[in-house]
Amino acid sequence: MHSLKILVTNQKGGVGKSTIAANLAAYLAIQENFKVNLIDFDKQSSSSRWISKAPDVGVTVHHAHLRYEDTGSLVLANAKRALNKFSVACDMSISDLTWTHAMSTEFMLEYDLILVPSAASKFEMASTEIFILEYVQKYLSQIQSRGQEICVVPSRVYQPFQSDHAFLNLQSVDHCSMAPSIFMVPAIDDFVYQDFLCVSSNEDVAKNFSRFGEHIAKLIKKIAMTKATLSKINGTMKRSSNISILDQYRAEQEQKRDEGPKAYSDWIPNFLIKK
């Protein structure tokens, strides 16, 4: 069984991407009992550092060092190689990646679920919408055929933030949905590297992130069911397309035998039958 691949990415920094990647990995390991690998594509290594310094919850950390000064095709090839290498022996892998124009958007097709954290300012929301819409417009057929899901995550927003009135340009986009908001955490330094948000001693913080984690866990189960269905359909179509002429002839002869002997008048030409 192949691991389910999750990408946490955005073009903008400071939207809580690494916080979400590290804490989602911990939530899925603790609450859902998944075997999780975290793949850190960022030079700052913020998410992997959080996982490494906090109490061990069984998340395996990998560092994928990319050279963005290389040509686009080489960056893409190296990114795919790292993803495949570090997505083994686990139920799912979570990649933390700050998106750059040096990376081809084709890389996002490698994932089953894409999480796009975004702040609530008009500029940030517009940037996030453009980022997603350009990707969907370019690869819609592949997204549909693979059952990929894209989820916007309002992050580091203040209460009360109403996500129903945000990201309006994405509400009619297939395979795109909105996650529960992750609210701004006061004194975030008290949590970083010390423990994970879902088990925080601050009840409000723990409930907030757990609500987000529960939503993603349900989305993961939906994706797994979709992939199983698509795999079954593709398998049936492949078997049908692999039937040889000889197999088809044998099947026809078998059907004729099952139908039994034909009536006398069925196999004698009409002009030989006495009227």
- In the prediction, which pLDDT does 136 show? 97
Check whether the bond before 160 is cis (ω within 30° of 0).
yes
- The DSSP bridge partners found for residue 102 are none
pLDDT for residue 154:
95
Give the type of residue at 264: Y
Report pTM.
0.84
Determine the Cα–Cα distance for residues 187 and 31; give it in Å rounded to an integer.
25
pLDDT at 264: 47
Under 8 Å between Cβ of 17 and 131: no
DSSP string covering 44-101 = T-HHHHHHHHSPP-S-EEEE----TTS-HHHHHHHHHHHHHHHSSSSSEEEEEEE--T
Phi-psi region of 67 (alpha: psi -120 to 50; beta: other; left: phi over 0): beta
In tens digits, the chain (275 residues) has pLDDT values of 578 999 999 988 888 999 999 999 999 999 999 999 999 999 889 999 999 999 999 999 999 988 877 777 899 999 999 999 999 999 999 999 999 988 999 999 999 999 999 998 999 999 999 999 999 999 999 999 999 999 999 999 988 777 777 899 999 999 999 999 999 887 777 788 889 999 998 899 999 999 999 999 999 999 999 888 887 776 666 555 565 666 666 666 666 666 555 554 554 555 555 55
Query: Tokens 């933390």 — which residue?
Result: 96
The three-class DSSP label of residue 183 is: strand
pLDDT score, position 137: 96
Residue 268: per-residue pLDDT: 53
The whole-number pLDDT of residue 45 equals 92
Task: Give 164-171 contacts, CB < 8 A, sequence gap 24+.
Answer: 166/120, 166/125, 167/118, 167/125, 167/128, 167/129, 169/129, 169/133, 170/129, 170/132, 170/133
**Helices and strands (DSSP H and E) totals, the chain:** 7, 8
| CATH code, 4-235 | 3.40.50.300
Confidence at residue 247, expressed as pLDDT on a 0 to 100 scale: 67
Q: Which of 204, 15, 184, 164 is nearest to 96 (CA)?
A: 15
Distance separating alpha carbons of residues 224 and 230, to the nearest angstrom: 10
